[in-house]
Amino acid sequence: MSPQSRNRQIRDVVFVDGVRTPFGKAGEKGMYHGMRADDLVVKCIRELLRRNPQLPKDRIDEVAIAATTQTGDQGLTIGRTAALLAGLPQTVPGFAIDRMCAGAMTAVTTTAAGIGVGAYDVVIAGGVEHMGNHPMGQGADPNPRFMTERIVDPAALNMGNTAENLHDRYPHITKERTDAYAAASQEKLAKAYAGNHIQPDLVPVAVKKPGQGWALATRDEPPRPGTTMEDLAQLRTPFRAHGRVTAGNAAGLNDGATTALLASADAAEELGLPVKMRMVASAFAGVEPEVMGFGPVPSTEKALRLAGLEISDIGLFEINEAFAIQVLAFLDHFGIADDDPRVNRWGGAIAVGHPLASSGVRLMTQLARQFEEDPSVRYGMTTMCIGLGMGGTVIWENPNHPDYTTDPEA
- Angle between helix 175-194 and 324-333 (nearest 10): 100
Q: In whole angstroms, what is the distance from residue 159 CA to residue 292 CA?
A: 8
In 3D space, the residue among 399, 384, 364, 228 whose CA is nearest the CA of residue 295 turns out to be 384
Q: For residue 406, what pLDDT is reported? A: 61
List 33, 101, 167, 197, catalytic entry: 101
Least confident range of 121-125, 160-164, 207-211, 296-300: 207-211
- Nearest-5° angle of CA 161, CA 165, CA 166? 120
Q: Per-residue pLDDT averaged across 92-110, rounded? A: 98
Helices (H), 34-102: 37-51, 78-85
Q: For residue 2, what pLDDT is reported? A: 55
- For the question of whether the overall pTM of this predicted structure is more than 0.85, the answer is yes
- pLDDT at residue 183 greater than cutoff 60: yes
List 134, 167, 197, 354, catalytic entry: 354
In 3D space, the residue among 207, 271, 13, 292 whose CA is nearest the CA of residue 125 turns out to be 13
Task: Count Cβ atoms within 10 A of the Cβ of residue 241 and give its class: 0-12 exposed, 13-18 middle, 19 or more buried.
Answer: exposed
- pLDDT at residue 6 greater than cutoff 70: no
- What residue ranges define each of the domains in the chain, with the CATH number in brackets? 10-134+251-396 (3.40.47.10)
Strands (E), 301-387: 314-319, 379-386
Binned at pLDDT 50, 70 and 90, residue 410 comes out as very low
Binned at pLDDT 50, 70 and 90, residue 22 comes out as very high
Q: Per-residue pLDDT averaged across 315-327, rounded? A: 98
Q: Would you say 155 and 165 are in contact if contact means Cβ atoms under 8 Å apart? A: yes
Q: In whole angstroms, what is the distance from residue 295 CA to residue 276 CA?
A: 27
**44: annotated active-site residue:** no
Q: For residue 39, what pLDDT is reported? A: 98
What secondary structure letter does DSSP report for 27? S
H helices then E strands: how many in the chain?
12, 12
Q: Per-residue pLDDT averaged across 166-189, rounded? A: 97
Q: For residue 275, what pLDDT is reported? A: 98
Q: For residue 7, what pLDDT is reported? A: 66
Q: For residue 35, what pLDDT is reported? A: 95
Residues 6+ apart with CB under 8 A from 99: 66, 105, 106, 284, 357, 386, 390, 392
Q: How do residues 36-70 score in pLDDT, each as one tens digit?
A: 999 999 999 999 999 999 999 999 999 999 999 99
Paired strand residues for 209:
213
Q: Per-residue pLDDT averaged across 152-159, rounded? A: 80
